[in-house]
Amino acid sequence: MTEKTLDAFMNDPIGHFDGSITKMHTMPRGELEALQREAMAQRFAEHREGIEMVRNLADRLGIAQVKDFDDVTPLFFAHTAFKSYPAALLDHKRFDLMTRWLQKHTPKDLSQVDLEGCDSIEEWIDRLDAGSDLRPITSSGTTGTISIIPKDKEGGYYGMRLWRLFLFQTFGKEPTREELEPVVDVIWPNYASGKLGHLRMVELLKREFTGGDESRFHALYPQAISTDLMFLASKLRAAASRGELDRVKIDPKLLARKQEFQELEARRPEEMNRFFERMTTQLRGKRVFMTGTYALMYEIAKSGLERGVKHVFARDSAILTGGGTKGFVLPEDYMDVIREFMGVDRIQEGYGMSEISAFHWACDEQHYHVQPWVIPYLLDPDTSEPLPRRGVQTGRAAFYDLLNTSHWGGVISGDEITIDWDDPCPCGLASVHIHHDIMRYSEKQGVPDDRITCNATQEVHDEAVNFMREFEG
Same-domain pairing of 169 and 281: yes
Q: What is the largest CA-CA distance in the chain?
A: 68
Residue 214 lies in a domain: yes
- pLDDT value at residue 348: 93
Q: How far, in Å, are 22, 86, 108, 231 from residue 94 at the CA level?
A: 49, 10, 20, 15
**pLDDT for 62:** 97
**Are 39 and 110 in the same domain?**
no
Residues 158 and 22 grouped into a single domain? no
pTM above 0.85, yes or no: yes
The mean pLDDT value for 318-324 works out to 83
* pLDDT of 383 strictly over 80: yes
Asked whether residue 363 carries a pLDDT value surpassing 70, the answer given is: yes
**In this structure, are 57 and 204 located in the same domain?**
no
315 found inside a domain:
yes
What is the percent of the chain with per-residue pLDDT over 90, rounded to a whole number? 69
Give the confidence band of 325 by pLDDT, cuts at 50, 70, 90. Answer: low
Q: How many CA atoms lie within 13 A of 121 on its CB side?
A: 27
Kindly state whether residues 409 and 304 are assigned to the same domain: no
Range scoring the smallest mean pLDDT among 3-12, 252-261, 459-468: 459-468
Residues 203 and 98 in one domain: yes
The answer to whether residues 320 and 415 belong to one domain is no
Domain with 10, as residue range(s), is: 1-75+371-451
Stated as kind and residue range, the H or E segment containing 378 is strand 374-379
pLDDT for the residue 448: 52
Contact 150, 85 (CB under 8 A): no
- Predicted confidence at residue 353, as pLDDT, reads 87
Tell me whether residue 456 is in a domain. Answer: no
Least confident of 23-27, 344-348, 372-376, 419-423: 344-348
Q: Is the pLDDT of residue 202 over 80?
A: yes
pLDDT computed for residue 453 by the predictor: 47
Express each pLDDT in 148-201 by its tens digit: 999 999 999 999 999 999 999 999 988 888 888 888 999 999 999 999 988 999
Mean pLDDT of the chain: 90
With cut-offs at 50, 70 and 90, classify the pLDDT of residue 140. Answer: low
- pLDDT of 417 > 70? The answer is yes
**Per-residue model confidence (pLDDT) at position 93:** 95
Residue 49 located in a structural domain = yes
In this predicted structure, what is the pLDDT of residue 344?
94
Q: Which of 338, 237, 234, 353 is nearest to 291 (CA)?
A: 338
More confident residue, 257 or 26: 26
pLDDT band at 473; cut points 50, 70, 90: very low
Identify the CA nearest to 442 among candidates 452, 433, 453, 451.
451
Distance CA 215, CA 392 (A): 48
- Per-residue pLDDT, 427: 95
Mean pLDDT of all residues in 75-100? 93
**Average pLDDT for residues 391-405, to the nearest whole number?**
96
What's the Rg (C-alpha) of the chain?
A: 22
Is residue 62 assigned to a domain? yes
Contact 186/206 with Cβ under 8 angstroms? yes
Is the model's pLDDT at 42 over the cut of 50?
yes
| pLDDT at residue 288, rounded to an integer | 96
User: Residue 405: inside a domain, yes or no?
Assistant: yes
Residues 444 and 468 in one domain: no
390 Cβ neighbours under 8 A, 6+ residues apart: 421, 422
Dist. CA 198–CA 136, nearest whole Å: 12
User: What single DSSP character describes residue 134?
Assistant: B
List the beta bridge partners of residue 288: 185
In a domain, 23, yes or no: yes
438 inside domain: yes
Bridge partners (DSSP) listed for residue 318: 289
Burial code of 97-129, b = ≥16 C-beta within 10 A, e = fewer? Answer: ebbebbbebbbbebeebebeebebbbbbbebbe
State the DSSP H helix or E strand holding residue 373, giving kind and residue range, or none if neither.
Answer: none
Residues 27 and 105 in one domain: no
Confidence of residue 460 (pLDDT cuts 50, 70, 90): low
Same domain for 255 and 112: yes
Same structural domain, 319 and 184? yes
Q: Identify the pLDDT of residue 244.
A: 84
Q: How many domains does the chain have?
A: 2
Contact yes or no for 430/424 (Cβ under 8 A): yes
For residue 450, is pLDDT > 70? Answer: no
Sign, CA dihedral 339-343-346-347, equals negative
* 466 and 442 assigned to the same domain: no
pLDDT number for residue 177: 83
Residues 6+ apart with CB under 8 A from 176: none
